[in-house]
A and B are shown apart, each in its own frame.
Chain A
Amino acid sequence: MRRLLTSQWTKALVFVFCLLPLALLGWAALHNGLTANPIEYITHTTGDWTLRLIVITLAITPLRKIVGQPDLIRFRRMVGLFAFFYGCLHFTTYIWLDKFFDLRDMWKDIAKRPFITVGFLAFVLMIPLAFTSTAGWIRRLGGKNWQTLHRLIYVTAIAGVIHYYWLVKSAVIRPLTYAAIVAVLLLWRIADRLRPKAGAVKELPAKSDPQKVQA
């Protein structure tokens, strides 16, 4: 299992998987599969995948502890960066295809419509995380600071779910499903913190080793 998780091939495979939604979107575009309202379809699909990948990054830490596979951390940065990538596509469809780069109109929208406001917040908070995702930045900031900064992903996840919830007209089951999953993943972290770590030597994240940085 360890060998599988640490293999470069597995990483390449995860990379390809993360690109699949975009590939499917491209395929649909070439085969008349974007529905009668392609712009809405692209916006929704990229938004869905942003949220899904955020949920996956949040699931990695609990998963590696629960199943005892610390090497899963190797995929977190990549999945997180793909979440940002789909978030960028999502934001681009909005500002380009919906607002046609009319920045004044966009700001009006952000100020006036809460669901756009929280969506924009979720997106903006991902920018520093993507920017400081490299090993160099972990070193520069120090593991602790870096970790604190990257807890912003919790805010992004919550804001993303609210963004979705406020968007739908009535079928709240899907946004509520995301809300439940995000809640479980965040509550797990609180529970994990409160749990007495009997006899365990407290593991300090080494400044130079990004693999040990946990959130």
Chain B
Amino acid sequence: MLLRAKSPCDLSYADVTPKSVYLNRRKFLQAAGLAGASILAGRGLWELAEPSVPAFAGTKLSVSSKSPFSTTEKQNTYDDVTHYNNYYEFGVDKTEPAKNAGSLKTYPWTVSIEGEVKNPRKISIDEIVKLAPLEERIYRHRCVEAWSIVVPWIGYSFSEILKIAQPTPKARYVAFESFYDPREMPLAKYAGIDFPYVEGLRLDEAMNPLTLLCVGMYGETLANQDGAPVRITIPWKYGFKSAKSLIKIRLTKDEPPTTWSRLAPNEYGFYANVNPHVDHPRWSQARERRLGEFFKRDTLMFNGYSDQVASLYNGMDLKKYF
């Protein structure tokens, strides 16, 4: 397979964001007045996503294609998805990240790709957003706490990153690390877990086209509390696997430690596949409450993505590897 990064010159910012959309943003016009040249050079977009704009403000992203992986289920509202979050660095109550995540500086932003790769590199958010055509993927998202939402994410398959990085033959896992700075996240010390937040996937899971490198939602850049500027989204696993605000992607030989499993290995496993037949020790996983619905609904195996991912686990005892 030919693994070659698309030259950054192949796309301009006009491809990412239609000028008509962002030109009418007052902030853009102000910035343009001050530093038009640098914006034309490609800095504008992510500067607009900076959190001097409130935590839930976004910059429009244009999407080149709809995805066959998208569900047709009713989407949750933007308000739900931005005001009911688990992002413990910004407080442990669901409503706290919306209030506190504004302190996260999402530009400039660099993600380091390292470990068992032929091509280790640091890649800026500007490059990330142009690396592959952006798709809208409307995914079900099932939290381990037995609630769920439907979100129109924007991004592309994570495998595009691996094409650039070129894993060595030794690479068997991918480790993710989220940004952590106690100065921007003063509430993190009360969360009861160690930061930075770390997660991981088996390499074949990471290669699965459903695994999304996500830079936006609802047609815009991500809100800070939803993991701006770039996160991973793995729709067949419990939400805690989908690490937010990534700064490091490391290919490894061995299974990497993961935050929740390190904290309570009997409750949270490395795999954390959505599975109605394997309960959390303290509560049932058979049903879930879709936000906005009164009655609980049945939880589906692999969150309804069995066709795409069940084969990854052939022959595995999913009660043991929960």
* Contact call A170/B289, Cβ cutoff below 8 A: no
- Taking a contact as CB atoms closer than 8 A, the residue among A36, A98, A100 that contacts B79 in the complex is A36
In the complex with contacts A36-B83, A37-B84, A37-B147, A170-B192 CB distance below 8 A: yes
Verify if A113 is at the interface (C-beta below 8 Å from B): yes
- Taking a contact as CB atoms closer than 8 A, the residue among B80, B193, B289 that contacts A39 in the complex is B289
* Contact call B282/A173, Cβ cutoff below 8 A: no
In the complex, which residue of chain A has the Cβ closest to the Cβ of B84? A36
* Contact call B282/A113, Cβ cutoff below 8 A: yes
Of listed A36, A97, A171, residue having the most chain B CB within 10 A:
A36
Verify if B95 is at the interface (C-beta below 8 Å from A): yes
B91 to chain A, nearest CB (A): 9
Verify if A109 is at the interface (C-beta below 8 Å from B): yes
From residue 95 to 138 of chain A, which have CB atoms closer than 8 A to chain B?
97-98, 100, 109, 113-115
* Contact call B282/A100, Cβ cutoff below 8 A: no
B54 to chain A, nearest CB (A): 18
In the complex, which residue of chain A has the Cβ closest to the Cβ of B79? A36
Contact-residue size bin, chain B (C-beta under 8 Å from the other chain)? 20 to 34
Other than the given A37-B289, A170-B192, 7 more pairs (CB < 8 A) read A36-B79, A37-B291, A109-B284, A169-B264, A170-B264, A172-B192, A173-B192
- Taking a contact as CB atoms closer than 8 A, the residue among A37, A113, A171 that contacts B283 in the complex is A113
In the complex, which residue of chain B has the Cβ closest to the Cβ of A170? B192
* Contact call B191/A35, Cβ cutoff below 8 A: no
Q: Give Cα A196–Cα B193 distance, bound, in whole angstroms.
A: 46
Verify if B295 is at the interface (C-beta below 8 Å from A): yes
Q: A residues engaging B (CB < 8 A)?
A: 35-37, 39-40, 97-98, 100, 109, 113-115, 166-167, 169-173
In the complex with contacts A37-B84, A37-B94, A113-B283, A171-B190 CB distance below 8 A: yes
Q: Give Cα A114–Cα B281 distance, bound, in whole angstroms.
A: 9
Q: Give Cα A36–Cα B282 distance, bound, in whole angstroms.
A: 23
Find chain A residues with CB under 8 A from B260 CB. Answer: 169
Binding site secondary structure of chain B? loop
Verify if B263 is at the interface (C-beta below 8 Å from A): yes
Verify if B88 is at the interface (C-beta below 8 Å from A): yes
Find chain A residues with CB under 8 A from B80 CB. Answer: 36
10 contacts between A and B (CB under 8 A): A36-B291, A37-B289, A39-B294, A109-B284, A115-B282, A166-B282, A170-B191, A170-B193, A171-B92, A173-B190
B96 to chain A, nearest CB (A): 11
Verify if B33 is at the interface (C-beta below 8 Å from A): no
Q: Give Cα A166–Cα B264 distance, bound, in whole angstroms.
A: 12
Q: Give Cα A7–Cα B291 distance, bound, in whole angstroms.
A: 47
Find chain B residues with CB under 8 A from A40 CB. Answer: 147, 289
The 10 closest A-B pairs by CB, nearest first: A36-B84, A170-B192, A36-B80, A171-B92, A171-B192, A36-B291, A170-B193, A172-B192, A115-B282, A37-B291
Find chain B residues with CB under 8 A from A115 CB. Answer: 282
Q: Give Cα A39–Cα B191 distance, bound, in whole angstroms.
A: 23
In the complex with contacts A36-B84, A40-B147, A171-B289 CB distance below 8 A: no
* Contact call B83/A114, Cβ cutoff below 8 A: no
Verify if B68 is at the interface (C-beta below 8 Å from A): no
Verify if B169 is at the interface (C-beta below 8 Å from A): no
Q: Give Cα A36–Cα B94 distance, bound, in whole angstroms.
A: 9
